[in-house]
Amino acid sequence: MSKVIKIKGKDFNELATVANFASRDKSRPILTGVKFQTVDNTVQAVATDSYRLVLMDREIIDGEDVDVLIPAEVFLRALKSFKAVKNNYSDVTITINEDDTFTIGSNGDVLGGNLITGGAYPGVMHLVPSDGISETESVGLNAQFLAEFAKLAPFNSKDSKENTILIKAIKDNARPIKFTDKSGRSVAVLMPVRCW
């Protein structure tokens, strides 16, 4: 029996930006996907390439519990296809089938493929530091990795109130740094680099 999740179009397009942070290394197929999991009335999308980690929660309109791994490339294609028409987004329906296939549809456009199977997504929640900033002499960040957070919703918004990145946790220069949006529903984690 298929499971169906319905999400507001704007929320789906924000969730899909997580796919920019999945690995492109085909030798690590599990990391080329976005972990897509529903909990109560929310859905969480998670992606990592081992250097950067992003997590995003959004509300669902309706749906069933799912915990699957969807290829990031399909999310990125959907992000390009499911655009707003006159500033209104159509709702998006995600269908997960028993045969490990899926479809993502909006306003008559449908994309799909095979789920990524054959392994478990790594446990990443323990990597997200709790909020709090400690005094530290210096922390080095890969500027290119940091700049790529601009691909993540809502940091890519044209609204200056929405695109602000908040630094929520720096413990020291050897542990991950946590960045969030104002709502805390979009979280990015970046490992510091050694300063010379």
Contacts of 53 (CB under 8 A, 6+ apart): 21, 46, 47, 124, 127, 128, 176, 188, 189, 190
pLDDT band at 85 (very low <50, low <70, confident <90, very high): low
Q: What is the CATH number of the domain that holds 22?
A: 3.10.150.10
Whole-model pTM: value is 0.84
Instruction: Answer yes or no: do 22 and 102 share one domain.
Output: yes
- Least confident piece of the model among 27-41, 89-103, 179-193: 179-193
Instruction: Answer yes or no: do 33 and 79 share one domain.
Output: yes
Tokens of 12: 């789906």
Instruction: Answer yes or no: do 14 and 68 share one domain.
Output: yes
The pLDDT value recorded for residue 29 is: 92
Stronger pLDDT, 37 or 118, i.e. the higher one: 37
Instruction: Answer yes or no: do 32 and 7 share one domain.
Output: yes
The pLDDT value recorded for residue 166 is: 80
Q: Looking at this protein, which amino acid is placed at residue 171?
A: K
Instruction: Answer yes or no: do 98 and 148 share one domain.
Output: no
Instruction: Answer yes or no: do 92 and 136 share one domain.
Output: no
Question: Does the CA dihedral 55-126-144-70 come out positive or negative?
Answer: negative
Of 59, 79, 114, which residue is a domain's last? 114
Residue 119 lies in a domain: no
Whether the pLDDT of residue 86 is over 80: the answer is no
pLDDT, tens digit, 9 for 90 and up, residues 92-133: 999 999 999 999 999 889 999 999 998 888 888 888 878 888
Cα–Cα distance measured from residue 93 to residue 64, given in angstroms and rounded to the nearest whole number: 12
Whether the pLDDT of residue 187 is over 70: the answer is yes
Residue 121 lies in a domain: no
Instruction: Answer yes or no: do 70 and 131 share one domain.
Output: no
Tokens of 32: 């080329």
Q: Looking at this protein, which amino acid is placed at residue 160?
A: S
Whether the pLDDT of residue 195 is over 70: the answer is no
Domain that holds residue 52: 3-114
Of 89, 114, 139, which residue is a domain's last? 114
The pLDDT value recorded for residue 18 is: 95
> Minimal CA–CA distance to 180: which of 145, 141, 157, 149?
149
Instruction: Answer yes or no: do 16 and 55 share one domain.
Output: yes
The mean pLDDT value for 37-60 works out to: 92
Residue 122 lies in a domain: no
Whether the pLDDT of residue 46 is over 70: the answer is yes
The pLDDT value recorded for residue 160 is: 62
Instruction: Answer yes or no: do 135 and 38 share one domain.
Output: no
Residue 11 lies in a domain: yes
pLDDT, tens digit, 9 for 90 and up, residues 154-178: 787 776 666 777 878 787 777 888 8
How many structural domains does the chain have? 2
pLDDT, tens digit, 9 for 90 and up, residues 144-160: 888 888 888 878 777 66
The pLDDT value recorded for residue 147 is: 82
Residue 158 lies in a domain: yes
Average pLDDT across the chain, whole number:
87
